[in-house]
Chain A
Amino acid sequence: MATANKQVVCNVLMELAKEDKDIVVLCSDSRGSGSMTPFADELPGQFIEVGIAEQSLVSMAAGLANAGKKPMAVSPASFLSTRSMEQVKVDCAYSHMNVKLLGISGGVSYGALGMTHHSTTDIATIGSIPGMRVYFPSDRFQTEKLTRALMADTEPAYIRVGRNAVEDVYEEGKVPFEMDKATVIREGRDIAIIACGELVWHAMKAAEALAEKGIEATVIDMYCVKPLDREAVLKAAQTGTIITVEEHVAIGGLGSMVAQVTAAEAPCRVVNLCLPDSPVVTGNSKQVFAHYGLDAAGIEKTALELLK
């Protein structure tokens, strides 16, 4: 199985931090779950444990940034995107501090642990803060490119990754990546699927299945949820039908952001596949995705119904 995206972030940070002593990782008793133990062990002078205190995790990161550090604050996405939200707003975004926030075990990664541990509102909460950026990388190769790009810039950002290793969307050495530009995985004229995070792989598989039935779908990896790649949305709108797929609730998520662009600039049908406005069904990620029609089979089914 491939490497988990969070492990990739750790690997990149370790490599960069050995050359740049200002790179600092902060954890809230989350070094194990965040795959940051190797960083903590190898670079203890650049690792800060704050305990189970997600508010001061983010405030401290902002203070470190004020002093010239390049902090990455690592905590489960569920807590980082809600408990720490005001610290993200005031200390990072409003104060314009170079803090990178890594939301680990995002979405429904924690499965049966329930709604306390699910982060299904983080695009809405973090993304609505002026000055915050939101990234949902799809696989390990893109995660690596994104992490390098983010650590080289000086603006605050939130990155959400899942708990477990996921299937590769790209191939080693063949990873198209331009910062803040969505990656067009395939182009088709019949329908467009815009997805982010782990669901990009499912969108890709759905498109492959549709192709076997003679339906050509455009697939867009919108890892840059905010700033949303408007041009990519307009390209998708040319097919006349867009399906958005996200491990997030409907309100304030990828689908709503895409629909805002299409409604204003290129009216077309936009159908949002997402999580419900209620606690999700008990199950692992695969089961939850299948339950709500977010997996490859569900996306394919929706596409076929729309094109009837």
Chain B
Amino acid sequence: MTITELERKACDIRADVVTLIHKAGCGHIGGDMSEVEALVALYYKHLNCSPENESDPDRDRFVLSKGHSVETLYCILADRGYFDKAELMDTYSAYGSRFIGHPNNKIPGIEMNSGSLGHGLSVAVGMAKAGKMDGRPYRVYAVLGDGELAEGSVWEGVMAGGHFKLDNLTAFVDRNRLQISGSTEDVMAQDEQERRWAAFGWNVVSIPGNDIAAVDAAISLAKETKGKPTVIILNTTKGKGVSFMENLAVWHHKVMNDEQYETAMAELAERKAGL
């Protein structure tokens, strides 16, 4: 896909996420919206993953460590044909549904269950280490939240990724600067992530994380980087794409009323039309 096509796809995914959450009456919309560019760039350009190669040992691996932002992942996987989009839209979070509020690997396309923060990076390290041991060509990607970085177990994974020089591993930090209680800097300061990861031996790229061209270029750079893993600090906007949600902690998991839903959809349509 071209950059413009990826941008259009990001608009479509945002509209799907807004619709899914409005319909279900629940979801973590703020972090869904901030991570869209990273997931779209991965799933529509970089990941060697498809419904056809789901059990191929050489498929790329993706781990959503910030599992609460699962709605974006669901909408992308549905669009990529892993499962029926109508089933997702009709049953998400409903009684008996297989689509729950966090990633679950009973759903096609999902590698690992997550939801409890601080697990995904170390799991991704294990996947990447296995790839190195067997000389397999696959790459491993993990997306973490910035609030998640307060979990000590994250840093065990950062340490191990650097120690094992896993250049087949790329981590993303969705640095939207907000968590459920407010600003990350008020809750538990997370600034200077660049220095923190670099100190553990990682290649660090810090970019405007809602700029899909920048995300695309950073992933390409990570693929070319040898001898160390790469972290891409995505400087993003929580609630990105819907004006009344942007940069407000309350939209971590607030649900839209019907009027807000119409406004959000109109804004996203307008954005797409302008591309």
- Taking a contact as CB atoms under 8 Å apart, the answer to whether B57 and A53 are in contact is no
- Say if the beta carbon of B30 comes within 8 Å of chain A: no
**Total B residues in contact with A, Cβ cutoff 8 Å:** 31
B57-101 contacts to A, CB under 8 A, are: 57, 61
Which of A60-68, A156-164, A182-190, A285-293 binds B?
A60-68
Q: Chain A interface: which size bin?
A: 20 to 34
- How far, in angstroms, from A56 to B115 measured CA to CA in the complex? 16
Contact between A45 and B115 (Cβ–Cβ < 8 Å)? no
- Please, how many angstroms separate the alpha-carbon atoms of A50 and B163 in the complex? 9
Known contacts A60-B129, A90-B113, A90-B116: A55-B123 contact under CB 8 Å? no
Whole-angstrom distance between the alpha carbons of A109 and B159 in the complex?
31
B122 lies within 8 A of A64 (CB): no
Residue B19, interface by CB 8 Å = no
Question: Is A66 a contact of B126 with CB atoms below 8 Å?
Answer: yes
Cβ-defined contact, A67 with B131, below 8 A: yes
- Whether the pair A86, B116 counts as a contact (CB closer than 8 A) is yes
> A276 contacts which chain B residues (CB < 8 A)?
none
Residues of chain A lying within 8 A (CB to CB) of residue B122: 55-56, 59-60, 63, 87
Q: How far is the CA of A61 from the CA of B136 in the complex (A)?
A: 18
CB distance from B118 to the nearest CB of A (A): 8
Q: How far is the CA of A60 from the CA of B123 in the complex (A)?
A: 5
Is the C-beta of A48 less than 8 angstroms from some C-beta in chain B? yes
Q: Which 7 A-B pairs have the closest CB atoms?
A: A63-B126, A59-B122, A67-B130, A60-B126, A56-B156, A56-B122, A63-B127
Contact A91:B111 (CB < 8 A) given known A53-B156, A67-B127: no
* B6 within 8 Å of A (CB atoms): no
Is A56 in contact with B127, judged by CB distance below 8 angstroms?
A: no
Q: B124 interface residue, CB < 8 Å from A?
A: yes
Q: Which of A4-35 contact B (CB under 8 A)?
A: 24
Smallest beta-carbon distance A73→chain B, Å? 10
A sample of 11 inter-chain contacts (CB < 8 A) reads A45-B133, A56-B122, A59-B122, A60-B157, A63-B123, A65-B126, A66-B111, A67-B57, A69-B133, A90-B114, A91-B112
A60 to B152: give the CA distance in the assembly, Å: 15
B 251-266 to A, binary, CB cutoff 8 A, 1 in contact else 0: 0000000000000000
Closest to B125 in A: A60
Instruction: Give the residues in chain B near A97, CB-CB below 8 Å.
Output: 112
- Is A91's CB under 8 angstroms from B156's CB? no
Is B190 in contact with chain A by the CB < 8 A criterion? Answer: no
Q: Which of B111, B126, B136 contacts A59 (CB 8 A)?
A: B126
Is A117 among interface residues, defined by CB-CB distance under 8 A?
no
Q: How far is the CA of A189 from the CA of B119 in the complex (A)?
A: 51
Since A50-B156, A51-B160, A60-B160 are in contact, a sample of 9 more A-B pairs with Cβ atoms closer than 8 Å, ordered by chain A residue number, is: A24-B133, A59-B122, A59-B125, A63-B112, A63-B122, A63-B124, A66-B61, A90-B119, A94-B113
Identify the closest chain B residue to A96 (Cβ): B105
Contact partners of B183 in chain A: CB under 8 A: none
Judge if A95 is at the interface, Cβ distance under 8 Å. yes
Determine if B113 and A95 form an interchain contact, defined as CB atoms under 8 angstroms apart. Answer: yes
Closest to B156 in A: A56
Taken together as a complex, chains A and B put the C-alpha atoms of A45 and B131 apart, in Å, by 13
Q: Which residue of A lies closest to B112 (CB)?
A: A95
Query: Would B160 and A56 count as touching, CB distance under 8 A?
Result: yes
Cβ of A67 and Cβ of B114 under 8 Å apart?
A: no
Complex CA gap A95/B65 in Å reads 13
Known: A64-B127, A66-B61, A67-B126. A55 touches B116 (CB 8 A): no
The CA-CA distance from A96 to B111 in the complex, in Å, is: 10
What B residues does A71 contact at CB under 8 A? 126
